[in-house]
Structure 1
Amino acid sequence: MKLRLVDPKDAESLYDQIEKTRPQLAKFMPWGDSTKSVEDERAFLTYCQGRMEENKLWNASIVIDGKAVGMIDLHNIDPDDQHAEVGYWLGGEYQGNGVMTDCLQKLLEIGFDELNLHKIKLLAEQVNQASNAVAQKVGFILEGQLKDEIYSNGKFHDANLYAIVK
């Protein structure tokens, strides 16, 4: 497993994973239903590259056996207050094997050591047991619970706010 900076060339492989995992992704990701084609995914990846050039985003594909199978990012990067938020998803066939835990550990190294962040936050829907478990395994601390914080799957959901400080 490795992280590779976001590249529109990964659109087909990522879209394949979105299609295979769509019911699960749609439960927790607002874009789970709206990404309808390889072209949609390619446009999103191109948009991400632009945000990275503006230093507003750090985004990578998760690559296993040479194939992009998910994504992980730092978004809402605030260089003044030195914090950012984590986002991630992984194709269903790769879940449950510690891949996201390893990716998140690498992302923390990048955030703290390369981007000079002081604090990294992670929001997880309370009902998303897998995402909550990943946050806890990597050492994130639960800072609070936010009511109706995330809109996905047609309704608002409560979220756990985790954070880790350098």
Structure 2
Amino acid sequence: MFKYIVDKDLELKMLDINHAEALYDLTDACRLYLRKWLPWVDDTKSVEDTKAFIEMTKKQFASNHGFQAGIWYKQNLAGVIGYHKVDWANKSTSIGYWLGKDYQGNGIMIRATKAFVEYALTELNLNRVEIRCAEKNYKSRAIPERLGFTNEGISRETEWLYDHYVNHVIYGMLASQWKGVRSIS
């Protein structure tokens, strides 16, 4: 099981079934806020839906294709960060993340993402980490930009969000590049 202590206030740990109620409550409390950028929010209607998501992430981990971790801030579940899938043949992965509205503005996501990039490039020995963000989701885009990722371009109409498509900005970080920017906070 994955557990990563970022600092005295921030811990990342793999989601487990006993986190389902807290994760559902956080999702439900932030539903309107999250819905603007996340296509799965409307399909999360119950704790059972959240349990199904956690079970899926446990299968992802068991098959060695990455995992999802809860972001725990001052011992409260604040959000989720995860590797979408690890491509071992090409030594790459992509990271996705979200944070509950009440936890914004504390530097939580920049620290969590930095830890996940560090883990991918040093512990998993991957060569590339990618982050894709909706073009107009400026808060999400600020994370890879602050961490020194390279803006590699736009993928047009990549994601369907309820009633419209959104473009994604693609950010990439290479292991050789990370060594020069890892001190960023």
Class of the TM-score when normalised by the shorter of the 2 chains: over 0.9
Distance 1:43 1:19 in 2: 16
The CA deviation string for residues 112-133 of structure 1, in whole angstroms up to 9 with x for no partner, is 1121110000100011010011
Structure number, greater radius of gyration: 2
Superposition misfits of 4+ residues, deviation over 4 angstroms: none
Does the 8 Å CA contact 2:73/2:108 hold for their aligned counterparts? no
Q: 1:65 is aligned with what amino acid?
A: K
Q: Quote how far apart the aligned CAs of 1:153 are.
A: 3.2
Amino acid at match of 2:24: Y
Gaps (5+ residues) in structure 1?
Answer: none
TM-score by length of 1: 0.96
Identity %: 31
* Alpha-carbon contact 1:27-1:153 (below 8 Å) kept: no
Q: How does 1:148-159 map to 2 (within 5 A)?
A: 148-159=157-168
TM-score by length of 2: 0.87
How many Å apart are 1:103 and its aligned residue?
0.2
CA RMSD of aligned residues (A): 1.0
Match of 1:56 among 57, 62, 65: 65
Q: Is 2:90 the partner of 1:81? A: yes
Residue 45 of structure 1: which of 51, 54, 68 is its match? 54
Q: Which has the bigger relative contact order, CA under 8 A and spacing at least 6?
A: 1
Asked whether 1:19 is paired with 2:28, we answer: yes
- For the residue of structure 2 that corresponds to 1:18, the secondary structure is helix
Report how far residue 59 of structure 1 moved: 1.5
Aligned length: 166
Matched, 1:107 2:116: yes
1:111 partner letter: A
Report the Cα distance in structure 2 between the residues aligned to 1:9 and 1:70, rounded to whole angstroms: 15
Contact 1:17 1:92 in 2 (8 A): no
Q: Structure 2 regions of 5+ residues with no counterpart?
A: 1-9, 176-185
CA distance in 2, matches of 1:146, 1:23: 25
